[in-house]
């Protein structure tokens, strides 16, 4: 019976990448490449290398057998070596794992696994960015209230919101690609990284192995590939998660009953509460905000793994069995959730318009201040005038336009028509449309 929600609630195609059988398959692939490389430099008979290569597959080496051996010897990698060796005909088995240390195999196999995992995340980021760009295009003229400090500020557009998120996702794509280049490295350098177990052929063997697997050889290692690489990848996943949290938080806040400008999709038979039948909770966005805390915490653990003692210790090993697959599976689930949410995102135009009028014109105080300054009033004097007028209008429950029309100083600078026009929120969005269009052009090209 599954215990972890990673195997149930949050399961996706990412799980197969970190499945035990896939891990074993990658270990075997590295062992096969090592035997082939050593045969090329004359350290292993060609016939033995071919036999090892042929048997280094799940068809022959079964996970059940590896686990059986591991229970006896308490070493998972060596259990694989023994299971592979016993499947090799003739004396080929004695050449399995020749000169290698466990992490020559494990870290090189990890590079293969993480390459596949990163590619899945990359595809999801591309898809998410495309959805955000569509939303930005569709909503570039949808004027709404901008909020700072939780208060109404000045008008903006929903297109601006989505373009902002798309640009952030684009940066994550670039970060992930850079991390991929630094992460997909392997080693075949022996116990402390000196290649002494491979004699004078160490560089050639490592080069042949990595070329066979499509992995770059690490420049310098000790017994392990250094963990700053792994920490960087988990950090990028956490950054991705933080952007998803940002989007989810915005949707959650905009879905509040008092605001209700947008809402995440709600199924026809979906239940919001076990006791309150009317509830329409943004639970999927809340789930994203919950899971990102896990992603961030895993970064902290990965940073602790960098400073291993001397040429290595084992303090990274146990926790990496959790934090690496967990981070990728959780990040992939979060991306899937956000993609579904945005595809089905619901807008409430009447509430968007109602909310932009909620302050009774006070959100246009900045525009009036600038207009008065353009007409000849000092900027500071105009600011103080609008501040006092806004306070007065708020206390008296008046529209700011009414309060200003009663102010002789204001009307000395502005006509009635100019005052009226200044409160048109649709004409005070600056270059928002152009900003979105430029972002669309740039991000579609990326």
> Can you give the pLDDT of all 446 residues of the chain as single tens digits?
678 889 889 999 999 999 999 999 999 999 999 999 999 999 999 999 999 999 999 999 999 999 999 999 999 999 999 999 999 999 999 999 999 999 999 999 999 999 999 999 999 999 999 999 999 999 999 999 999 999 999 999 999 999 999 999 999 999 999 999 999 999 999 999 999 999 999 999 999 999 999 999 999 999 999 999 999 999 999 999 999 999 999 999 999 999 999 999 987 787 776 778 887 889 999 999 999 999 999 999 999 999 999 999 999 999 999 999 999 999 999 999 999 999 999 999 999 999 999 999 999 999 999 999 999 999 999 999 999 999 999 999 999 999 999 999 999 999 999 999 999 999 999 999 999 999 999 999 87
- Beta-sheet pairing, 346-347 with 262-263: antiparallel
| DSSP H/E element including 380 | helix 379-396
Which DSSP category does 96 fall into?
T
Which residue of the set 4, 47, 196, 273 is catalytic?
273
For position 160, what pLDDT does the model report? 98
For position 386, what pLDDT does the model report? 95
| The total number of residues written for the chain in this structure | 446
CATH number given to 1-98:
1.10.275.10
Count CB neighbours of 115 within 10 A: 16
Q: Supply 192's token pair.
A: 């402390």
Please tell me the pTM assigned to this model: 0.94
Nearest to 109 by CA among 33, 23, 234, 210: 23
CA 373 to CA 383: how far, in whole Å? 9
CA 412 to CA 335: how far, in whole Å? 56
For position 380, what pLDDT does the model report? 97
For position 428, what pLDDT does the model report? 96
- Annotation says 273 is catalytic: yes
For position 34, what pLDDT does the model report? 98
For position 1, what pLDDT does the model report? 67
Nearest to 336 by CA among 240, 197, 220: 240
If DSSP codes are grouped into helix, strand and coil, which group holds residue 347? strand
For the chain, the first-to-last Cα distance in angstroms comes to 45
For position 268, what pLDDT does the model report? 78
CATH number given to 362-422:
1.10.40.30
Q: In the chain, what are the domain boundaries?
A: 1-98, 110-196+213-265+280-356+432-446, 362-422
For position 266, what pLDDT does the model report? 80
Instruction: Measure the CA angle with vertex 257, ends 256 and 260; round to 5°.
Output: 70
Cβ contact 57:1 at 8 Å: no
CATH number given to 110-196+213-265+280-356+432-446:
1.20.200.10
CA distances from 98 to 186, 194, 209 (A): 17, 15, 13
């Amino acid at each position: 019976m599954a215990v972890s929600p990673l195997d149930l609630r949050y399961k996706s195609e990412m799980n197969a990448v970190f499945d035990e059988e896939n891990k074993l398959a990658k270990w075997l692939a590295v062992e096969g490449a090592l035997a082939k490389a050593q045969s090329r430099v004359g350290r292993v008979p060609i016939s033995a290398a071919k036999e090892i290569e042929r048997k280094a597959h799940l068809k022959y080496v079964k996970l059940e057998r590896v686990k059986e051996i591991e229970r006896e010897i308490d070493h998972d990698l060596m259990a694989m070596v023994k299971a592979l060796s016993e499947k090799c005909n003739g004396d080929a088995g004695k050449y399995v794992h020749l000169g290698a240390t466990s992490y020559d195999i494990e870290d090189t196999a990890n590079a293969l696994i993480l390459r596949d995992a990163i590619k899945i995340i990359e595809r999801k980021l591309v898809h998410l960015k495309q959805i955000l760009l569509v939303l930005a295009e569709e909503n570039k003229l949808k004027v709404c209230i901008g909020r700072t400090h939780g208060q109404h500020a000045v008008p903006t557009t929903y297109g601006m919101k989505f373009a902002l998120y798309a640009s952030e996702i684009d940066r994550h794509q670039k970060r992930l690609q850079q991390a991929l280049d630094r992460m997909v490295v392997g080693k075949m350098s022996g116990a402390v990284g000196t290649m002494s177990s491979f004699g004078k052929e160490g560089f050639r063997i490592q080069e042949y192995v990595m070329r066979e697997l499509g992995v770059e050889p690490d420049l310098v290692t000790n017994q392990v590939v250094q963990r700053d690489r792994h920490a960087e990848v988990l950090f990028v996943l956490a950054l991705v998660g933080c952007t998803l949290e940002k989007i989810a938080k915005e949707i959650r806040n905009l879905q509040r009953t008092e605001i209700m400008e947008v809402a995440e999709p709600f199924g026809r038979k979906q239940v919001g509460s076990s006791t309150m039948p009317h509830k329409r909770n943004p639970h999927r966005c809340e789930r994203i905000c919950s899971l990102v805390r896990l992603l961030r915490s895993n970064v902290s653990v990965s940073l602790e793994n960098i400073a291993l003692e001397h040429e290595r210790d084992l303090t990274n090993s146990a926790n990496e069995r959790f934090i690496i697959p967990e981070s990728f599976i959780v990040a992939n689930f979060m991306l899937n959730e956000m993609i579904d949410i945005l595809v089905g995102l619901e807008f409430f135009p009447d509430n968007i318009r109602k909310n932009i009028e909620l302050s009774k014109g006070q959100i246009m105080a900045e525009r009036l201040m600038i207009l008065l300054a353009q007409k000849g009033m000092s900027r500071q004097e105009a600011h103080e005038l609008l501040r006092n007028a806004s306070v007065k209008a708020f206390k008296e429950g008046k529209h700011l336009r009414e309060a200003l029309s009663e102010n002789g100083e204001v009307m000395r600078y502005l006509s009635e028509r100019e005052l009226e026009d200044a409160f048109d929120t649709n004409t005070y969005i600056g270059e928002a449309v152009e900003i979105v269009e430029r972002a669309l052009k740039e991000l579609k090209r990326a």
